[in-house]
Chain A
Amino acid sequence: MLRLALKMLFGDSAKYLMLVAGLAVATFLMAQQTAVFCGLMSWTKSTLKNVPAPIWVVEDRVEQVNETNPLLDTDVARVRSVSSVAWASPLYSGIQRVRLESGSFKVIQLIGIDANTLAGAPAKMLGGDLMKLRLPHSVIIDDLGVQRLASKRGEKVGLNDVFEINDQEARVVGIADAVTSFTGGPYVWTTYERALQYVPAQRKMLQAVICAPREGVSLDQAIADIRRETGLKAFVNREASFEEFLGQMRGQPTTNFNVSTVWWYIKNTGIPISFGITVIVGLMVGIAVSCQTFYSFVLENMRHLGALKAMGTSNSTLCLMLITQAFTVGIIGYGIGLLGTAGFAFAALKNEQPPFYMPEFVPFAVLAVILGICTLAALMGIWRVSRLEPAMVFRS
C-alpha cells in the first residue's frame, strides 16, 4: 500500500514539485542563513585565530577582541613579572587604511608584534620569510591581501611589492595563511614599533599583551595569577565549544576570549535578529507551502482515500500512507535544499566571502525542523481522513 501511496504522490507531479520546492527553499534558507550567521560570528574572533597566543591580557572593560581600549606601555613588563608567565609581548591590533598605487583605499586589519620574539606571527607562511619582518618597512600580508591590495582588479600582490599605509611605505616580505577578518579586510602583520609609526599618533597604543604560561602551569591558573598580581583582565585563547555558549546563555562568566567575543556580538548587535528573521521566514515558507499544498493534495485525493477506506483499508494504513507521502517529500526537499546549501558553501569558501561556517548540529536541526513540518502536514491530512465517511463513496 505504501508503494501505491508513493505512486499517488509522484503521479500528481504539480503538487509533488511544489512540495519538494517549498521544502527545499525552506531547508536552504534555514541552513544557509544559519551557516552565514555562524560564519560571521566566527569572523569576529579571526584575530584570535590569526594571532596564536594562549593568553590575552586586556584592559579591564574589554569584552571582545575587536574592541580598542588600550593598556599602558608599562603593562607588558608587569605581566612579564608574574611568576607563572613564561613570556609576554606587546600587541597592536587595529583597523587602518591602505593607499594603493592606483590611489584607491582599502581597509586592513593591522597587527603589530614584538620584533624580538615575533610572538603573534602567523602560524603558517605561504611564501616569503618571516624573519625579514625585522627589516625596515617590512610587512606580511595574508592570502586575501594578495588579491585585495593589488592596484588593479585581477592582479596579485607579490613579494617585494610596495604599498602605503598612511603615507608610509610598506614592503611585502611574506604571505601568510589567515582566516578572514570581521571587517572582511586582509590581515597585515608588522612589528610593534613600526605599527606605531604607521598609525597616527595616539597617547596609548598597546591593545593587548599576549603571553604564555610557564611549563607546568595551567592556562586557568596563569590567568588567575595575572589577574591577582596585575589587576588586568586576562583571557585564554582556545577553541570555543558549544557547551561554553550554552553557559553564556545561562549567564555564566567566561574566561575564553573566543566565547566572550562571539557572545558580545550576539548580545550587542542586531546580527542575530536579522538572521533569525530570515530563518523564521524560511520556516514559515516551509510550513505555509508544505502544509497548504499537502492538505490540498489530501483533499483532492479524498474520493480515492474514501474508496480505499470503503474497500477495507484501515485507518492506520491510511495514516501510514499519508506519513510516507509527507516524509518522502520532506527527505527529498531537504536533500535538494542541503545540496543547494553545499553549492553555496563551496562558492563561499572558495571566495572566502561571504562568511560560511556550518556547525555539525545545523543539518540535523534543519532536518528535524523539516520533518516536523512534514509531520504537521501529515497530521492535518490524517485529521481530515479520520473524519472521512466511507459511505460517501457511494455518492458521486
Chain B
Amino acid sequence: MSTPDDLKIAAKLRGIQKSFGDGESRIQVLKGIDLDVRSGDITMLVGPSGCGKTTLISIIAGTLAADEGQLTVFGQDLRRLSPAGTTRFRAKNIGFIFQAFHLIPTLTCVENVSVPLLIQGISHSKAEKKAKEVLEKVGLAERFHHRPSQLSGGQQQRVAIARALVHEPRLIICDEPTAALDAHNGHIVMELFEHVARGQDRAVLIVTHDNRIFHHANRIASMDDGRVIEVHDVDAAHPPPDHLSVHERL
C-alpha cells in the first residue's frame, strides 16, 4: 500500500545489486543500493569514474534489469512488468538526456524533439507543435529546421533536453547534462530543470561531475565502489560542498 509519503517518491531502490560477466571475470558493480528519488527534487548522483553511476540510472530507467533488490518507480514494481510493458512505461514516464546526446543526425531539431510524442502515437502535427513550444523554451526558436550537425554542442544539448521534456515525463534522467556546456549555458539548463522539477512536481535525477552546478541540487547522493555512501540534503543550513568527500579521495 502506498502512503502519502510514497507518493512523493518517484523511485524507491532497496538492496539493488548488479553484476556483469560470468565466472572468473564476474564483477559486482552495484553492491546493494538503497536510494529514494523524490518528486519535486533535483537529485544529483556523484562519484568516481567506474563506481556504477551509469549502471544505476540504467536500472532506474528500466533499460537494464537488476539482479537483486526491489525497485519501484511511481509505485510500479518494474520487475513485475513484461519487457513490452517496461518499454511502454518508459515511453510514458521517463525522459532521457544521454551523455552522448543521441540526436538523430538526419532529422531536424523539431523532428528529433517530437520523437517521444510520436512513440506514444501522438499525431505528427500535434507532436511538432508541442516540440516547437518546448524548443522555444530552451531558446532554440531560430533553429527548428536545422540538423544537429548544424548546431553547437551546447545547442545540441538543449535539443536533447527539449526532447527529454516534451512529453512531460514524471522522471527525468540525465547523464552529465552540463559536461559540454560553459558555465553560463550550464546555469540556463539547470534553471530549466529547477523550473521543471519544482514547478511541476517532477523528479530530476542527474549524474554529474560538475561541481559548478551542485548548488542547484536538493540532494546529492555520493557513490563509491557500488554503494551509496552519503546522501547530503542541500538547504540554507547545509550548503553544497565545493568538493565531495569521494572526490578528495580520487
Tell whether B76 is near chain A: CB-to-CB under 8 Å: no
* Residue in chain A with minimal CB distance to B64: A391
Known contacts A317-B119, A393-B102, A310 near B96 by CB under 8 Å: yes
Which listed residue (B57, B63, B89, B107) contacts A4, Cβ 8 A? B107
Pair B88/A314 contact, Cβ less than 8 Å: yes
Pair B58/A307 contact, Cβ less than 8 Å: no
Pair B118/A304 contact, Cβ less than 8 Å: no
Q: Which of A6-14, A62-70, A137-145 forms part of the interface with chain B?
A: A6-14
Pair A313/B87 contact, Cβ less than 8 Å: yes
Q: How far is the CB of A302 from chain B (nearest CB, A)?
A: 11
**Tally of chain A residues near chain B (CB < 8 A):** 28
Which listed residue (A11, A314, A396) contacts B106, Cβ 8 A? A11
Pair B105/A396 contact, Cβ less than 8 Å: no
Pair A394/B58 contact, Cβ less than 8 Å: yes
Pair A314/B84 contact, Cβ less than 8 Å: yes
List of A residues within 8 angstroms of B84 by Cβ: 314-315
Pair A310/B61 contact, Cβ less than 8 Å: yes
Within 8 A of B (CB), among A1-30: 1, 3-4, 7-8, 10-12
Tell whether B40 is near chain A: CB-to-CB under 8 Å: no
Tell whether B91 is near chain A: CB-to-CB under 8 Å: yes
Within 8 A of A (CB), among B58-78: 58, 61, 63-64
Tell whether B144 is near chain A: CB-to-CB under 8 Å: no
Tell whether A395 is near chain B: CB-to-CB under 8 Å: yes
Q: How far is the CB of B150 from chain A (nearest CB, A)?
A: 13
CA distance A366 to B48 in the complex (A): 59
* Residue in chain B with minimal CB distance to A301: B104
Pair B57/A304 contact, Cβ less than 8 Å: no
Pair B63/A394 contact, Cβ less than 8 Å: yes
List of A residues within 8 angstroms of B100 by Cβ: 303, 393, 396
List of B residues within 8 angstroms of A306 by Cβ: 102
Which listed residue (B87, B98, B107) contacts A312, Cβ 8 A? B87
Tell whether A184 is near chain B: CB-to-CB under 8 Å: no
Within 8 A of A (CB), among B99-113: 99-100, 102, 104-107, 111
Q: How far is the CB of A2 from chain B (nearest CB, A)?
A: 10
* Residue in chain A with minimal CB distance to B147: A11
List of A residues within 8 angstroms of B98 by Cβ: 307, 310, 393-394
* Residue in chain B with minimal CB distance to A9: B106
Q: How far is the CB of A315 from chain B (nearest CB, A)?
A: 8
Pair B106/A313 contact, Cβ less than 8 Å: no
The 8 A CB mask of A290-310 against B (1 = contact, 0 = none) is 000000000000011011111
CA distance A11 to B116 in the complex (A): 20
Pair B92/A312 contact, Cβ less than 8 Å: yes
Most buried by A among B54, B115, B175: B115
CA distance A312 to B99 in the complex (A): 18
The 8 A CB mask of B79-99 against A (1 = contact, 0 = none) is 000001001111110101011
Q: Which of under 10, 10 to 19, 20 to 34, or 35 or more describes the interface residues of B? A: 20 to 34
Which listed residue (A11, A313, A315) contacts B119, Cβ 8 A? A313
Tell whether A273 is near chain B: CB-to-CB under 8 Å: no
CA distance A307 to B164 in the complex (A): 12
Tell whether B124 is near chain A: CB-to-CB under 8 Å: yes
List of A residues within 8 angstroms of B54 by Cβ: 394-395
Which listed residue (B90, B106, B107, B175) contacts A311, Cβ 8 A? B90
Q: How far is the CB of A301 from chain B (nearest CB, A)?
A: 8
Pair A4/B88 contact, Cβ less than 8 Å: no
List of A residues within 8 angstroms of B105 by Cβ: 11, 304
B interface residues with partner A (beta carbon < 8 Å): 54, 57-58, 61, 63-64, 84, 87-92, 94, 96, 98-100, 102, 104-107, 111, 115-116, 118-120, 124, 175
User: What 6 A-B pairs are tightest by C-beta distance, nearest first?
Assistant: A11-B106, A312-B91, A307-B102, A390-B63, A391-B64, A391-B58
A interface residues with partner B (beta carbon < 8 Å): 1, 3-4, 7-8, 10-12, 303-304, 306-315, 317, 389-391, 393-396
What would 27 A/B residue contacts be, using CB atoms closer than 8 Å?
A: A4-B104, A4-B111, A4-B118, A7-B106, A7-B111, A8-B104, A8-B107, A11-B107, A304-B105, A307-B104, A310-B61, A312-B116, A312-B120, A313-B87, A314-B87, A314-B88, A315-B87, A389-B64, A390-B63, A390-B64, A391-B58, A393-B98, A393-B102, A394-B57, A394-B63, A394-B175, A396-B99
